[in-house]
Amino acid sequence: MIRIQTGDTERIWARAFALDGRTPLTGVTDWLLSLWRESDGQFYDFNDATFKAAGHTTKEEALGELDGTETAKEGIYYWDFDTSAITNPAAGGDVYRYSTRQSPGTTILNPIREDEIKVGGSVDDERVRVAFAYDRSTDTVYTNAYLERNGVVVASGVSSFALSAYDADDNVLFTMADAAADAEGVFRATKVNPGYTAGRAIWYKASITGPNGTITTPKMTAQLS
pLDDT band of residue 225 (cuts 50, 70, 90) is low
Distance CA 90, CA 120 (A): 10
Mean pLDDT for all residues in the chain: 89
Task: Report pTM.
Answer: 0.56
Q: Where in the chain is the domain with CATH 2.60.40.1940?
A: 126-223
* Contact present, 178 and 189 (Cβ < 8 Å): yes
pLDDT, tens digit, 9 for 90 and up, residues 84-124 = 999 998 876 788 999 999 999 999 999 999 899 988 755 45
Give the count of beta carbons closer than 10 Å to the beta carbon of residue 128: 21
Q: Are strands 76-82 and 9-15 parallel, antiparallel or unpaired?
A: antiparallel
Q: Which of 3-7, 87-91, 98-102, 206-210 has the lowest mean pLDDT?
A: 3-7
pLDDT band of residue 69 (cuts 50, 70, 90) is low
- Asked if the 126-223 domain carries CATH number 3.30.70.20, the reply is no
Non-local CB neighbours of 56 within 8 Å, separated by 6+ positions: 43, 45, 47
Q: Is the dihedral of CA 86, 87, 93, 96 positive or negative?
A: negative
pLDDT, tens digit, 9 for 90 and up, residues 157-205 = 899 999 999 988 888 999 999 999 999 999 999 999 988 777 777 889 9
User: What per-residue confidence (pLDDT) applies to 72?
Assistant: 57
pLDDT, tens digit, 9 for 90 and up, residues 124-169 = 578 899 998 888 889 999 999 999 987 889 999 899 999 999 988 8
Phi, psi of 16 (to 5 degrees): -105, 130
Distance CA 120, CA 7 (A): 8
211 torsion bin: left (phi>0), alpha (psi -120 to 50), beta (else): alpha
Q: What is the CATH number of domain 2-119?
A: 2.60.40
